[in-house]
Amino acid sequence: MRSRSLVLSLLALASAGSSLRAEEGMWTFDNLPTKKISEKFGWAPDQAWLDHVRLSSLRFPGGSGSFVSQEGLVLTNHHVGRGWIQRVSSKEADYVKNGFAAATREQEIKVPGLELMTLMAMEDITARLNKAVKPGTPDKEALKARETEIEKIKKEMQEKSGLTCEHVTLYQGGEHWIYSYKKHTDVRLVFAPEQQIAFFGGDPDNFTFPRHNLDFSIFRVYENGKPYQPKEFLKWTGTGLKAGDLTFVTGHPGRTNRQDTLAQMKNSADFAIPMRLKAMERRKAAMVEYAKLSPEASRQVNTQIFGIENGIKATTGYWSGLKDMEAMARIEAAEKDLRAKVAKDAALTASTGQSWAKIEQATKVAKGLAKESQNVGTAGSTLLGYAMALVRITAEEDKPSEKRLPEYSDANLKTAKARLGIPSPYYKEQEIFMFTKGLEESARELGAQHPYVKAMLGGKPAAEVAKAAVESSKLSDPEARKALLAGGKKAVADSQDPMIALAKKLDPMTRSLRKKQEEQVQSVITEHSTRIAKARFAAYGKNTYPDATFTLRLSYGAVAEYKANGTLIQPFTTFGGLFDRYDSWGGNAAKAHEGAWTLPQSWIDKRGTLDASLPFNFAHKVDIIGGNSGSPVIDRKGELVGLIFDGNIESLPGNYFYDEAVNRGVSVDARAIVHALDKVYGATGLVAELTRK
């Protein structure tokens, strides 16, 4: 599992039915179903417990994590940390492949650009925002007015608290909040196991269970050059879980579409998802082709290939939910029920009666724009991405904040600028290869006569354009980017850099496309989804949870088996099971399926010292989705008992609906982490710090 979906599509929205299933829900911390939890499990969290786990939880870029020691140790998944481990690796020291263990604090490696966030406060601004929009304002203007007001509030609050404030839309606009975060910017790599044990079973086993992944990595947060002492952290369990035990998960589910209207879901099933899958398949093919060029090329893009394969499997799983006729019938019935309630109420009819039709219409418009939206862009080029940011930041920064593109508003500008200055690995051959593929793909999809294709290629072959632009551009150098940024509008206007030149041609095209999207699609969907959400509150009350928004949520449920593969799937796996799967595929000698079930040498060497009966992974009934990766699994004592790293294949339809019979989260058992650190890696210092012994 992994992060939020790669491209945030435009669709999102209105909640169906009122009856939630037992363990359903990704709950916000202000609205926990404590009564329900208590009825089922005889215990429910109190405020102190909630504060403890909230302040212990962290947001990673695209994932989640938690503080697990007094001295600022942070636990997350290997696959959440992987991009960052890659960033501090080199050709000579491949920490992704070989793992990494800092023997002392001095050996901990600072990760440039990695920022972690703790959620310190949440404020409901719904009422204030509603006041900013007068009734009867057209959709387009209402959207703008709301955006302006939000930026204003954010800035106010940010100045007051010194925290990083983010606007959060819940219930499709039924509620608006400001979440304030403490941001940690000095984060260092402490420990990572080898990729091959973290991701044992590779793509075939991804999103499945029984599983044997040691999918964890450890970082440490520093402040002022010293290990940071968090106010709250999760103590490592002394006991561990057994089947039936209640677990909690705090993390950042990225995106669900459970409140989409039926029309949106149908569009996803018949059009949007197949189109996305096709594009992902092509992108994967390009990466794989590049990886075949050399072992070094393969090292460079392996993480990206993993990401795409992961995305393909996940998206295929989401899609399978939409093909589930029974589930779709339930969703249809729920929508009918709400629409009937709306129809019976004159006020609701006036506000919301047309909303479903409006959304359906906007979905059709989006469909018409889809091909261009997908293909008019930076064509897989990192440098063109930098160039676009430079062209836009320098054009936007002179405008008043509320007139800018939202990503460059006052609240966001600093981060956007800082991002341009961060050094990150750059490989010229890869850049040329990917840019060529991207341009070729766009030309094929849009046709040679499309203005974008003409502007980018100017009649020349894609390979020639890509090679010339990449080789002459200076934008791979962070200093060059910083200089242009500092020189502002004029420097960019005068720049002869070929990537800047391409960006200048691209900028007006994407702006115009974006405008169409905003005016004809996004504003309509936002407005009418909000109306449907409000109608839902009116009809059913706020007894439900909002769709996932990559903000902190809490899910709960027991360690439990489920039906699959013709039998019942065991709740736990063990170290013995890891070696069963290893040996059964013929081990490192056979390297079956591109070595999916091979093991690092360290595990072969230390095999005899391991206790085969100890739990390795487990399955539990928690409602999670991509973005929850790295979330701590917590018991009722508030202690860390596991680490979420995946959902089973049956959990993927969870993007659209929850099925408690088979939807399971998949976690690394806390006991497996400590046992491996101790026996395989001899990381006794780390074990002592984690277990406070």
Under rule CB under 8 A, how many of the chain's residues touch other proteins? 39
Encoded one letter per residue, x for contact with other proteins by CB under 8 A and - for no contact, window 179-208 reads ----------------------x--xx-xx
577 binds other proteins (CB under 8 A): yes
CB of 209 to other proteins, least distance (A): 7
> Of 429, 445, 507, 580, which one interacts with other proteins (CB under 8 A)?
580
Nearest to 595 by CA among 313, 317, 308, 302: 302
574 binds other proteins (CB under 8 A): yes
- The nearer residue to other proteins, 146 or 313, going by C-beta atoms, is 313
Part of the chain binding other proteins (CB under 8 A), chosen from 115-123, 272-280, 420-428, 583-591: 583-591
Nearest to 213 by CA among 202, 227, 226, 229: 202
579 binds other proteins (CB under 8 A): yes
Q: Which of residues 213-272 bind other proteins (CB under 8 A)?
A: 242-243
CB of 309 to other proteins, least distance (A): 13
> Of 42, 134, 567, 693, which one interacts with other proteins (CB under 8 A)?
567
Beta bridge partners of 634: 248, 640
681 binds other proteins (CB under 8 A): no
> Of 271, 537, 585, 681, which one interacts with other proteins (CB under 8 A)?
585
Burial class (CB in 10 A: 0-12, 13-18, 19+), 124: middle
Strand 175-184 with 100-101, pairing: unpaired
> Of 164, 522, 628, 648, which one interacts with other proteins (CB under 8 A)?
648
CB of 649 to other proteins, least distance (A): 3
569 binds other proteins (CB under 8 A): yes
Q: Which of residues 532-561 bind other proteins (CB under 8 A)?
A: 561
> Are the C-beta atoms of residues 478 and 113 closer than 8 Å to each other?
no
Q: Which helix (H) or strand (E) element contains residue 75? A: strand 73-76
CB of 604 to other proteins, least distance (A): 12
CB of 114 to other proteins, least distance (A): 32
CB of 573 to other proteins, least distance (A): 6
- The nearer residue to other proteins, 496 or 567, going by C-beta atoms, is 567
Cα atoms in the 13 Å half-sphere on the side-chain side of 495: 29
Part of the chain binding other proteins (CB under 8 A), chosen from 373-381, 502-510, 590-598, 680-688: 590-598
608 binds other proteins (CB under 8 A): no
Nearest to 111 by CA among 227, 193, 221: 221
Distances (CA, A) of 357 to 51, 225, 264, 339: 42, 57, 11, 11
Six-digit token string for 63: 């994932």
> Are the C-beta atoms of residues 665 and 644 closer than 8 Å to each other?
yes
> Of 385, 576, 682, 685, which one interacts with other proteins (CB under 8 A)?
576
Burial class (CB in 10 A: 0-12, 13-18, 19+), 184: buried
61 binds other proteins (CB under 8 A): no
- The nearer residue to other proteins, 290 or 579, going by C-beta atoms, is 579
592 binds other proteins (CB under 8 A): yes
Q: Which helix (H) or strand (E) element contains residue 34? A: helix 34-41
Distances (CA, A) of 361 to 264, 534, 615, 690: 10, 20, 52, 55
- The nearer residue to other proteins, 128 or 606, going by C-beta atoms, is 606
How far apart CA 407 and CA 190 sit, in angstroms, is 33
Part of the chain binding other proteins (CB under 8 A), chosen from 22-30, 76-84, 225-233, 580-588: 580-588
Q: Which of residues 278-337 bind other proteins (CB under 8 A)?
A: none
CB of 325 to other proteins, least distance (A): 14
- The nearer residue to other proteins, 432 or 569, going by C-beta atoms, is 569
649 binds other proteins (CB under 8 A): yes
Nearest to 93 by CA among 186, 192, 199, 188: 192
Tell me the CA end-to-end span of the chain in Å, nearest whole number. Answer: 33
How far apart CA 177 and CA 165 sit, in angstroms, is 10
Nearest to 663 by CA among 627, 626, 619: 619
Part of the chain binding other proteins (CB under 8 A), chosen from 84-92, 450-458, 542-550, 586-594: 586-594
584 binds other proteins (CB under 8 A): yes
How far apart CA 691 and CA 315 sit, in angstroms, is 38
Mind giving me the DSSP string for 78-92? Answer: HHHHHHHHHHT--SS
Pick left, alpha or beta for residue 173 (phi over 0 → left; psi -120 to 50 → alpha; otherwise beta): left
Point out which residues bind other proteins (CB under 8 A): 201, 204-205, 207-210, 242-243, 561, 564-574, 576-577, 579-581, 583-586, 590, 592-593, 597, 612-613, 615, 648-649
